[in-house]
Structure 1
């Protein structure tokens, strides 16, 4: 790898983007002191992953960012990109092979964030370090030689010089990978040690947990039996309570209907009395209003009569004044006529007497003044006469109105007297009806009192029913809790069954070769000449499962094939595909087998012949006889020891707990714990496992009707409690 170009932006003294191109040959950078020559080398070292600020001639890593000057502000980021030309002899990582150039970029922000990029793709510092491993390029490689570095290399120790030689030879990256692999192996060893400790601890707890599980199963069985007995008793009690409840409900409904009818009748009578009373009060108020109106009309009539008499007197006085005024007017008219005649005479005399005109003029003025006074007096008398005539007309009009009002009032008084008599008759009728209703009300009140006594009795029964309802609710809650527990247990069992089925399907826990052969056979192994595993084809009596499992041991995971050739073919398959090892059992001919050993059941502690406790399909009977012909199940270790000491026939003795005594090593015994793969497949294929589900379903089904009956009984009692009649006190 050879440097082609260096791009610097914001790094130390380089504020603006600066590009350095390195052409073929030797490239030198010259300049005065302080111009930034050393900063170019620091930029190359920094972009290749240098993490020490001291090696970059700074106190902190943020010192590499341009801090500003007198004329330029500081920057918030420093960025350096270094471009290499990749030669054909360079050995790079697979993801970078095929590129003619590789560009490494590093950015640093003032907030401490940093970014690394290779070919403009974000990466880790580790990726950049691995890129430069073995190429001679790097922060500590020989590609950067500073002042005094040559003397340091010459005077350094052989180990340090060896590091430079390994870097030049390209061995460094392999040593780095070896160290990383060693660290991973150490971590794996620590994890394995921890797993071993945990496994040992769990194995110590297995026996205690086994005893606890047996006790728990016994407790569950007793608890289930007790629950069934309680449910049976509760069901009988529930049926008795339901029959009694139906009888009480029918009687309660009859009494309730009678009480409702009585209450409805009382309510109707009370409404009738209230309505009649309201009508009576309305009529009484109307009668009082009419009486007040009559009194008002009588007062108005008396007042109008007085006003009419007063008006008649005023009319007579006015007529008298009118007559006097008329007479005075006539006198004035006559006097006016006289004055006119005198004036005419005076004028005649005036016209005849010219000499005495001054006296006549004075007399004439006096006469004119007298005439003016008389005219004025005449005008006043005429005005008074008109006023008197208007007052007379008004009095006549009022008199006519009063007469009309008197006639109307007399007619209204007659009508009011008639209505008063009618209302008096209706009042008497209503009083008679009220007396009759009071009698009926007494009878109804007596019946209501009887109904109240009956309601008190029913309330007492209601309390008893509510107590029974409370007990039913409690039983319902308990049933719900039990159903929930059963459902949770059913869910756990289903989950376990699913897990065991997956284990059986994937052959987990078996040898690699066995798993490869069975996986290759798929779902149709018989068509390929494979009968299956020994653990899959045999069925053992549950009592002797552990004993048979211990006797067979590792042979449980042997593969049964139809012939020896088929076994050789499968062995060749495992060898050719490097799938591990496997054991194959061809089915022998029945006539080629020795007769099975017949145990002496008269011996104490001899329980069974293992061959008789195992069933399989008829075609595999010879194979089972081959495996278990000499296996005898005994009660305990003492029985096995007694058998061996008595010189009985050579056979394999196995106890119910799984201790095995082989004839080849009579003094040794193997305590066989159930192997995980054998236990899982036995549980998955055990005939006692699936039939247990119908039991759970029947238990759930048994609890479901009880829960349904409790729920229906609860709802019925709630409805009946809401339907209890409420006692009401009739209004008096």
Structure 2
């Protein structure tokens, strides 16, 4: 988009400009003035406002070189005239390193500013602003380097960078998609298991309902059968009870007789004592005694007979039931015989009726009398034969009755044995069903408990995933802040040797092997400086081996501190106002590292500020460091000002802490996943056992139904026997 140009520049506390406004015109323009008048600072201000991040491009070593020494922040704004109107872009920076952008007075990001300026061909590219020496540098470039410049000018390099950035973002998104798919697949498997459990539960509920209905039916018919048996037994019991009452009365009469005889014996004994016992009296006494013994024996016999009658009563009740069952099987045959007998009697009655009619015919029919006589004789013969047949049928019916009685007895015995067998088998099946249902309920409870545990583990897993995601984002942020350097590459190489145990005797860096309160971090880092990256080793041999590998790979240099070092361990008391103590006293470490730690921190005293050190007269007597990071050497040389952390101890400590938490959470997640697999295997096993128990219960219920059917058939047989008995009795009445 053409027609746009920078029309105005405002600088506030930027470099040498305290408060400067520069109006610019469209087209070419030049700035003239003596050296140091600020010509280059105008260009630096424009580059600063449009997003330049490199201090070297702004001819500065750090932030403090961009801010006027009289202020704590700097701000530069440019006004751009475009066909659409005026646009104001501003950038502000503070001594703490905080930087912010604004577009038309509203907060914006650096990316938004760069994208806006690209529309008007205002870019902070390397080749849009030609600094001193740039032309000669381009002339001396080779063809490959010049091609890179052309790509940058044409915008190809920018698109390549965006492409690479987009590819990285795409890889990140793809990784998240893969992770999400894994989680989704796991959840789908879990849902399928729940659906199977639901189907099994519904099937179980339906079968349980059916089982309840069948049990209720069985109980109903059992109650009916027991009620009928109870009625019959009650009747028999009343009869037997009457007989028992008669026996009890007889026993009572015998008791009374025994009492009377006992009294008589007593009287006789008294009389014997009085009359010196004549022979006749002795004979009477013996007779009465014998009669008493006979009466007692009769009493015992009657009691035994009563017990036998009670027992016989129970046997008769059982035999009655057996007989009724057996009679049922012969009811059909008896009905057929009776039907044939009735048919024969009907035919005989019909023949007699015809004979009577023939005898009563008129005597005038002489010609037919002979014929009628013959017919009568023939009918009489036929009647005789029919009577013979009837007598044969009656004999057959009698034999059928005899066989029916015998078969009835056999059938009663068979029914009784079958009922006893069915009853015991039914009780055994009911016992097995109860045990199986109890075991099934136990398995159901175990399955529910496992489901609750699995749900809790899934919730814990989801919570760990959320925590891991948050910690990884936080870790990436602190990693970016901590940054990396050439020294970091050397440190990382030595740490790799330590982790792989390639060189024995490496313990770690000073900053890794000590801890301290964060409020002393500035003082500790300012005092120790690069010594915080010194490695503590077991002995000189260990440091020698590492130094040889660094030299062979041309990676750089490192400093090593053996455990045994000759360091002055004396500590004089420092009881002065404003003096906090020796710096080493504010650091925690393993006693093994006392020598190296004394070497790094032992010669420094921690004071609250420079004024306190001056008041107590410690300047020039000891090496001092303030809480703000100002250092006063023993030679009285003072280093101070705003401290910019180069080691970034707090950030590195935070990174290490986050890495440890992430590792622990990943291990916990792995343990939860293993527990989930074990729980699912256990759940699958319990589901199989539940299915087997349900099949077993169903099989037992089918057997119980078959037995109940047999019981129903037996009941029907008893009813038939009863009906047949009534029919037989009716037929007997008819025969009479």
- Greater relative contact order, per chain length (Cα 8 Å cut-off, separation 6+): 2
Q: Over alpha carbons, which structure has the higher Rg? A: 1
Q: TM-score, normalised by structure 1?
A: 0.32
Q: TM-score, normalised by structure 2?
A: 0.32
